[in-house]
Structure 1
Amino acid sequence: MAVYFSSLNSGSNANCYYVSNGDAAILVDAGLSCRETEKRMKRLGLEMEQVKAIFISHEHSDHINGLEVLSRKHKLPVYISQKTFANSNLSIDPSLVRYFRKDETVEVDQLQIKCFSKSHDAADPFSFMISSQNINVAVITDIGYACKQVLHYFQQSHVVFLESNYCETMLANGDYPYHLKRRISSDEGHLSNTQALELFLQYRTPQLSHLILSHLSKNNNTPETVNALFQPHAGNTKVIVASRYEESALFSIDAVPVAVRRSLMSTKKKPSNELQLSLF
């Protein structure tokens, strides 16, 4: 058995991520229109009937624009925090709304979804780690810095969708107003390429099979910049840059026996205190 995953879109225009155990799937965020989500899944050979739920990270429009239609048309439960829902102005069939709490693990058709909080300028922002068959897939985007929760679940994961939002030089020299530059680079904004690379280099474990760099800024970053920064350090990890214009390939990773996973985790490197401080 294997776990399957894809970025259907990633960026400030729309975010939507797919994770499946082969029988059932969930979507994390629904920023694409319902029609575009269906089209991209069809191109990947995926069926909407396998999707059993949608998990929402926070209320910003690029994460919920397609949610109402997608949930209504396919009768999909929406897992969302109560504060996020209250600040979203969403109109969802009440019978399809499922509230989750901080550090709760939700089970959906043998997929276990851990909901953990993060630092971002939203009412109650969350990231998720989806687990099946001893494989952990984390979706960690829209974070201002790598807090302890983020570091913990990054180290537990075999696959990570990790934000690499902006190039610090491009942001500093760009034409964004000062207040917007401050917001992006703040502890409640987004993770820079440099911060993402530091996290990867110091906290990756031997079990990290795939790193999908996500939520790239259109104006303050380029896929080429991110790829050139990360590829020399990729090692045994497959590094992919997610697109803001199209779906990624459908990737898979085979289930890992528990004994093997424990062996891999026991060999992980401990980060230096100096670099740990630089992440906070």
Structure 2
Amino acid sequence: MRFASLGSGSHGNATLASRGETTLLVDCGFGIREATRRLWSLGVDPATLTAILITHEHIDHVRGVMSLARRFALPLYMTAGSWLALQPDADIRVELVVPERPVVIGDIEVTPVTVPHDAREPVQYLLQSDRHRLGLLTDLGFVTPHVVKRYQRCDALFIECNHDARMLADGPYPMALKRRVSGRLGHLSNVQAFDLLRELGTDRMQRLVASHLSEKNNRPELAFDALRPLLDGDDDRLAIACQTQPLDWQVVV
């Protein structure tokens, strides 16, 4: 299995996962022109995508979803809550997913996982192929026991490091937005990501990607320094996904 990021941050998120003849796009927070450009930069013809998985309805995750689905006749997989929030047109094929119930899409088994976030029915995804498991985990306000249980034994993990707590506290956001970001339905901080990884253990993880970094409340070096103590000196396992350009393909063997 391999995976890549078209970009990740406050203004747009999209992730690719591929195995065999199956290529899944998870969210698309970029307009169709930019999304298409970034897909081609990773060697992916948008017309060859198998499906788009949606985590939740926030615009930084769905800006280009409907346009891509319509232009390339791609099915959308989402929860009933996301469907109610987004109200896709009748000409777009929608497959409803049920949290915690796996569904097989081509060569990849997809399990939607319930997470705490301020959306209608948000999920994140576990992607399984043969003996490999990729975890996608962003947009959650705190780590529940359920999340810890479900994200065991990942060979690769795409994990949220949205903010540095000090930068958020001292930064320019209004107090209400600071409370929302740091609240139980908001986003994980660098420290929360560290605590989760310490609980999960990183011995099995071949690739770890810090993602969804806030441009105003975090810096790549802060996220990197927060997580690197868990890697036993093998810093090459850790990458940082950024907003402005794709993260190239990461391979799990």
> TM-score range with shorter-chain normalisation?
over 0.9
Q: 1:210 and 1:151 mapped to 2: Cα distance?
A: 18
Distance 1:21 1:98 in 2: 20
Q: Deviations over 1:17-38 (max 9, x none)?
A: 0000032110111111222222
Q: 2:157 aligns with which of 146, 157, 160?
A: 160
Task: Decide which of 205, 210, 220 is 1:223's aligned counterpart.
Answer: 220
Q: In structure 2, what is the Cα distance between the partners aligned to 1:129 and 1:77?
A: 19
Distance 1:89 1:183 in 2: 25
1:178: how far off?
1.3
Q: Answer with 1 or 2: which has the greater Rg.
A: 1
Contact in 1 for aligned 2:202/2:231 (Cα 8 Å) = no
Alpha-carbon spacing, 1:221–1:205, altered in 2? closer, same or farther (3 Å)? closer
* 1:86-165 equivalence runs, <5 A: 86-91=84-89, 93-94=91-92, 96-165=93-162
CA distance in 2, matches of 1:32, 1:169: 29
Unaligned stretches of 5+ residues in structure 2: none
Q: For the Cα contact (< 8 Å) 1:120–1:189, is it kept in 2?
A: yes
1:46-61 alignment to 2 at 5 Å?
Answer: 46-61=44-59
Matched, 1:208 2:205: yes
In structure 1, list runs of 5 or more residues that go unmatched. 255-280
- With 152-161 and 40-49 compared, the bigger mean Cα shift is at 40-49
Identical aligned residues as a percent: 31
Letter of the aligned partner of 1:222 in structure 2? R
Offset at 1:46? 2.3
How many Å apart are 1:232 and its aligned residue?
3.7
Cα distance change, pair 198–86 in 1 and its aligned pair in 2 (3 A): same
1:180 equivalent in alignment to 2:171: no
Amino acid in structure 2 at the alignment position of 1:146: V
1:75 and 1:57 mapped to 2: Cα distance? Answer: 20
**Number of positions where the alignment pairs a residue of Structure 1 with one of Structure 2:** 251
The DSSP-based 3-state class of the residue aligned with 1:155 is coil
Shift of 1:217: 0.6
* Distance in structure 1 (CA, Å) of the matches to 2:157 and 2:221: 20
- Aligned-residue Cα RMSD (Å) equals 1.5
The Cα of 1:104 is off from its aligned counterpart by: 1.3
SS at match of 1:6: strand
* Larger deviation, residues 220-229 vs 60-69: 220-229
Corresponding residue to 1:36 among 34, 37, 48 = 34
Per the alignment, residue 78 of structure 1 pairs with 76
Q: 2:16, 2:26 within 8 Å by CA — same for their partners in 1?
A: yes
Query: What letter corresponds to residue 251 of structure 1 in structure 2?
Result: Q
- Following TM superposition, by how much is the alpha carbon of 1:167 offset from its aligned partner in structure 2, in angstroms? 0.4
